[in-house]
Structure 1
Amino acid sequence: MLAYNFGEQHPMHPARLELTVRLARELGIFDVPEVSLGVPFVASDAELELVHDAAYIAAVKAVSADPESTREDIGLGTQDTPVFAGMHEASARLAGASLAAADAVLSGESVRAVNFGGGMHHAARGMAGGFCIYNDAAMAVQRLLDGGIQRVVYIDVDAHHGDGTQSIFWDEPRVMTISLHESGLTLFPGTGFANEVGGPDAQGTAVNVALPAGTGDAAWLRAFHAVVPQLAGAFAPEVIVSQHGCDGHATDPLSNLQLSVDAQRQAALSIADLTTKLCDGRWIATGGGGYNVASVVPRSWSLLMAVAAGVPLSPSSAVPPQWREYVLERYGKAPEFMGDGADTWWRSWEVGYDPNDAVDRTIMATRKAVFPIHALDPWFD
């Protein structure tokens, strides 16, 4: 999976995956009896065509074979998403990992599955963008639908709007996409506002919480809990698929949110709780963005895997000394603890709405746009 590599200077450096594996292994997550490790396969053209146009796949193959060429008209060869040799196979392998996760859940082999190398949520049917070539999360959702699942909720907590996934399921009433992200007024891709609620045949199945720049833990968690549990409960999914981009962290260079690893862990715990309540625990989690490669990404996704494995780690736990020494040697700086020592308390929506608070106004805009469609009261439910 490390072959998904846009170059040494690109923010999405594969070292973030290598460091995550190393940390998870030293934390003992892979040794939990209920945990198994699967080998990702390269998705076939037919599997990629679950959500991508055949002409687009052919274009990816062409630039993959000739990395001197570009197709900027469909997002291939841009500054964000440069072309590299072997791009097709590397991207299709990330996609295959999420398909394998979906297959494991469909067969009953696993209740929960994590592909932290996935979460390529900006890729649309015929367009690359935002470091994303093939949308593995959307492919997992479609695989579930094709396997007989009737309703899927997709929850995206990346700092950037999950525009590709939303566009793929824009008119699909069996899928609800919920994206909690920094507002498109200040961040790529410039979409994901409250009035984007789904196509004519799927009104109310696209949900967007566009948070102002500078939003911190308490407000972010307040927004999550004011929107996600209510809508997920109303939609009654059989499986939840989630995208856990950790680029909303305060130290991430590519967003303006102010989140902690502790809050990102709390979101994973809340999603796990929703899966237990709503769909017999069935849950597929992916990674996504995250560009503080050495410090934030490995901790956030290791904590995610621990939650999924049923052995949640405390944020106050020390990072394993061998991992810390390795990171110190390579990067000159390493975290001491799994969390940031942040307070993850949030003010419940039920205690009142503050019209002078920008986050509360964002929450209300989303609730007003979507809640009535699902017979939920935007003010009090």
Structure 2
Amino acid sequence: MSNEAVFIYSDQLIKYRFSNDHPFNQTRVMLTYDLLKSLNALDDSQIIEPRIATDEELELVHDPQFIQAVKLAGEGKLPEETAQNYGIGTEDTPIFPGMHEASALLVGATLTAVDHVMSGKSKHALSLGGGLHHGFRGKASGFCIYNDSAVAIRYMQKKYNVRVLYVDTDAHHGDGVQWTFYDDPNVCTLSIHETGRYLFPGTGSVNERGAGKGYGYSFNIPVDAFTEDDSWIDAYTTAFKEVAEFFKPDVILTQNGVDSHYYDPLTHLSATMRIYREIPKLAHQLAHQYCDGRWIAVGGGGYDIWRVVPRAWSLIWLEMIEKSAIHGPLPQEWISKWQSKTSVTLPSNWDDEENIYPPIPRKVEIEEKNTLTVQKALYPIRSHNK
């Protein structure tokens, strides 16, 4: 028996946790899972337990010495100076116990999604614990230790011999994936992100087109700070359609960071929930048009974990199972269950209220220190109150 779509999930995914006050918080995966359960939109038969990626699989992208360093760090056995050389033990990517096992599980979850789609057990698969697109061959970066998407793409190439279109809609440039496949003509990367002039990692300009045989297979669309829905959707729709027509992929892998929303504390874009309806809708359409439906979706950024992430990520799953037209109030049982856990007021509705765009700031000051956690815009406090 096969499902049209499968949802990769385990409570163990929340073990990827840097600290209680770190902005990257995988509680958002649990919140999304619980919201879909409250809607009766996620059946137990659709839920697949992730496996842990093996060292051999991680080595498809990552240096063995880096993997060993991550293991030692998670055991408290890696000297601080050595850790810093590998990008761990930093402000953005601090060390935590069991970090190798937690990171390898996120990679394994994405590989579980890959195998279900590529073996024909399902057309679509969603692995919200993944999307850690800043990881490099020998270095962690920007909250990301292992790069699950890059490993998954190499895994698909090796095991299934396919051409992969990777589409990244995180507000931060998908640098780790792009550079991994920069000279590979069988992997096409498309990243739509806030311009690197203001935001980590500072890359993703339009002239990053690939190298050698891979020249012309890397596409970047940097958008300006405070870009709103209509402009964002137009750029996304035009680019994705044209790149898919050009590349004609065998499978589409989408990274679904949801930090372009105007509530997100780490970025400067002004999108609403509208774009998170359009993102999966077009991916679904093009997957059926070019790939016989083969579509793997992963998570990514998203730092307003209570108000934005569960709604936006739920819309991916609802699109996969063709229940995307859902509007109106959120389930009261979900709101009641989680409201006491947070100081922010949970949304009562699937869509943002009308006319709640923040005013264009009178002044934008962006700190120069090149880390995700400190790059913020200074603007008036935004509120739902009218």
TM-score bracket, shorter-length normalisation: 0.7 to 0.9
Which among 247, 250, 264 is matched to residue 262 of structure 2?
250
Q: CA deviation at 1:67?
A: 6.7
Structure 2: distance between partners of 1:208 and 1:308: 26
Which among 46, 52, 62 is matched to residue 36 of structure 1?
46
Instruction: Report if the CA contact (8 A) 1:67-1:84 is conserved.
Output: no
Q: CA deviation at 1:342?
A: 5.9
Q: CA deviation at 1:328?
A: 2.1
The answer to whether the aligner puts 1:61 opposite 2:77 as a matched pair is: no
2:246 partner amino acid: A
* 1:51 aligned residue: 61
Per-residue CA shift, 1:111-153, capped at 9, x if unaligned?
A: 1000011100000111111100111111221121112333110
SS, match of residue 147 in structure 1: helix
* 1:145 aligned residue: 157
Q: CA deviation at 1:313?
A: 4.0
SS, match of residue 159 in structure 1: coil
Structure 1: distance between partners of 2:147 and 2:321: 24
Distance change >3 Å, CA 23–CA 166, structure 1 → 2: same
Instruction: Report if the CA contact (8 A) 1:173-1:201 is conserved.
Output: yes
Q: CA deviation at 1:21?
A: 1.2
Structure 2: distance between partners of 1:182 and 1:39: 34
Per-residue CA shift, 1:316-340, capped at 9, x if unaligned?
A: 2311101111232222411011121
The answer to whether the aligner puts 1:319 opposite 2:330 as a matched pair is: yes
2:277 partner amino acid: R
Structure 2: distance between partners of 1:160 and 1:150: 27
RMSD: 1.5
Structure 1: distance between partners of 2:240 and 2:280: 12
Residue correspondences, number: 340
* 2:116 aligned residue: 104
SS, match of residue 331 in structure 1: coil
The two structures have a TM-score, normalised by structure 1, of 0.87
2:242 partner amino acid: Q
* 2:292 aligned residue: 280
SS, match of residue 191 in structure 2: strand
| Identical-pair percentage | 41
Structure 2: distance between partners of 1:305 and 1:342: 24
Per-residue CA shift, 1:292-325, capped at 9, x if unaligned?
A: 01110111111111112222242x2311101111
The correspondence of residues 1-381 of structure 1 with structure 2, limited to 5 A, is 1-31=13-43, 36-66=46-76, 69-70=79-80, 71-314=83-326, 316-332=327-343, 333-341=345-353
Q: CA deviation at 1:68?
A: 7.1
Structure 1: distance between partners of 2:118 and 2:298: 17
Structure 2: distance between partners of 1:168 and 1:28: 39
Structure 1: distance between partners of 2:79 and 2:335: 41
1:205 partner amino acid: Y
The two structures have a TM-score, normalised by structure 2, of 0.85
* 1:377 aligned residue: none
Structure 1: distance between partners of 2:330 and 2:315: 11
Structure 1: distance between partners of 2:77 and 2:247: 44
* 1:379 aligned residue: none
Instruction: Report if the CA contact (8 A) 2:118-2:294 is conserved.
Output: no
- In structure 2, list runs of 5 or more residues that go unmatched: 1-12, 356-386
Q: CA deviation at 1:31?
A: 2.3
Structure 2: distance between partners of 1:63 and 1:69: 8
- In structure 1, list runs of 5 or more residues that go unmatched: 344-381
Structure 1: distance between partners of 2:77 and 2:196: 31
Q: CA deviation at 1:268?
A: 1.1
Structure 2: distance between partners of 1:67 and 1:16: 30
Per-residue CA shift, 1:20-65, capped at 9, x if unaligned?
A: 1111111122129xx6111111111001011111111111111111
Q: CA deviation at 1:264?
A: 1.6
Q: CA deviation at 1:225?
A: 1.8
Structure 2: distance between partners of 1:135 and 1:105: 20
SS, match of residue 199 in structure 2: coil
2:280 partner amino acid: A
SS, match of residue 30 in structure 1: coil
